[in-house]
A = this chain, B = another copy of it.
Amino acid sequence: MTELHWDTDALVGFATSLFKAAGLEADKAETIASALVEADMMGHTTHGLQLCAPYLNALEDGTMRRQGGPEILSDRGAVATWDGRRLPGVWLTARAVDSAVERARLYGTASIAIRRSHHIACLAVFLERATRAGCMVQIACSDPAVASVAPYGGTEPLFTPDPIAIGIPTSGDPILIDTSASITTNGLTGRLHGEGKKLPGKWVQDADGVACDDPGVLFTDPPGTILPIGGQEYGHKGYGLALMIEALTQGLAGHGRADPAEGWGASVFVQVSDPTAFAGVAAFNRQVDHIVAKCLGNKPATAGIPVRLPGQNALRKRRHAQENGLKLYSGIMEALQPWARKYEITPPASSARA
């Protein structure tokens, strides 16, 4: 069977051209295009170029702002609060991580809370902006306009899946953790529902609180909900993480579910810590490298399936896509054809590989 592959640089150029044609300034267009293609390269196919068409729609209808920067609501050096003014969340988050790295050099830890950002796509792609500088980074987000997870013991949607990503530098590849307060995501449940498939476990519950593996329960009226980490057995664990993430993102940013919904978007919390300001980089790496070695050398539960580090698969996939071209999830390029025609931009050619 042959499969279509695309050159990754050509895909970034194509998406950049589309975003520029939709009115985005060049640096914003390039930052977003690179982040989406990188998400696909790392295997996060629900948060890559699949988002390109919805973002173009949002730019057209004005719900995603095209120009300018965030409004600074507070700045104390070690912490800052931004009003994202509905600017592209991918661009805002990249700027926030870069700014937090600079601030962490001085203060040791720096935190930026962003209200009224648009959607920020794949959290994992921002982590290396900090780990390459030798820093730890946490990125959390929630969308005050979306609710698909109930508090533990409840049935009515209140939270978003509330993702949190953590980057940890090591002497070698960084550890790239991409997790959330809920068992699964809106993106995966939506995709599986569209394809008529089931979830791998009882990761959702219907509107009466009965746990099941059918993503269709999220699309009934009233809707069911995605279960927090721990499910119905010990879901207080995920519920606690959700409350933490909602407080960091919406509480500290001072805008969220208590305000009128403004549509698809995000409240974001970025924090960077520089080991230099604590016990030093050498001491940090010595501990983390030791743990990495102990993980990779741990006797597997299933013979032949070695223990992996978070991010290890994603980094391997990215290297493969860089060298061999990227195979896109089905339907993604098709969804961009009308936009390419509208803006008179030629999509990149694919190559067929065995």
Pair B283/A254 contact, Cβ less than 8 Å: yes
Pair A108/B79 contact, Cβ less than 8 Å: yes
Q: Which residues of A contact B (CB under 8 A)?
A: 73-74, 76-79, 81, 107-111, 113, 115, 136, 138, 150-156, 158, 166, 168, 175, 177-180, 183, 200-201, 205, 208-209, 229-230, 232-234, 236-237, 239-241, 243-244, 246-248, 250-258, 271, 273, 275, 277-280, 283-284, 286-291, 294-295, 298-302, 305-310
Which DSSP category, helix, strand, loop or mixed, fits chain A's interface?
Answer: mixed
Cβ contacts under 8 Å, A251 to chain B:
136, 168, 275, 284, 287-288
Q: Which of A201, A237, A310 counts the most chain B CB atoms within 10 A? A: A237
Pair A154/B300 contact, Cβ less than 8 Å: yes
Pair A240/B287 contact, Cβ less than 8 Å: no
Known: A243-B175, A279-B115. A295 touches B209 (CB 8 A): no
Q: Which residue of B lies closest to A209 (CB)?
A: B301
Pair A168/B109 contact, Cβ less than 8 Å: no
Contact of A255 among B115, B237, B283 (CB under 8 A): B283
Pair B286/A258 contact, Cβ less than 8 Å: yes
Known: A230-B229, A300-B153, A302-B209. A243 touches B179 (CB 8 A): no
A76 to B244, CA, bound (A): 26
Contact of A79 among B77, B200, B273, B301 (CB under 8 A): B273
Cβ contacts under 8 Å, A277 to chain B:
74, 76, 79
Contact of A107 among B107, B247, B289, B307 (CB under 8 A): B107
Pair B252/A158 contact, Cβ less than 8 Å: no
Q: List 27 A-B pairs, Cβ < 8 Å.
A: A73-B279, A74-B279, A77-B107, A77-B108, A78-B107, A78-B108, A79-B107, A81-B279, A107-B107, A109-B109, A109-B111, A109-B271, A113-B279, A115-B279, A153-B301, A153-B308, A155-B301, A168-B243, A175-B247, A183-B237, A240-B310, A247-B288, A250-B287, A252-B273, A255-B279, A257-B290, A257-B291
Cβ contacts under 8 Å, A248 to chain B:
136, 273
Q: How far is the CB of A171 from chain B (nearest CB, A)?
A: 12
Cβ contacts under 8 Å, A256 to chain B:
287, 290
Pair B179/A298 contact, Cβ less than 8 Å: no
Q: Which residue of B lies closest to A291 (CB)?
A: B246
Cβ contacts under 8 Å, A257 to chain B:
287, 290-291, 294
Q: How far is the CB of A253 from chain B (nearest CB, A)?
A: 6
Known: A136-B247, A278-B74, A279-B73. A298 touches B255 (CB 8 A): no
Pair B280/A254 contact, Cβ less than 8 Å: yes
Pair B255/A155 contact, Cβ less than 8 Å: no
Q: How far is the CB of A146 from chain B (nearest CB, A)?
A: 14
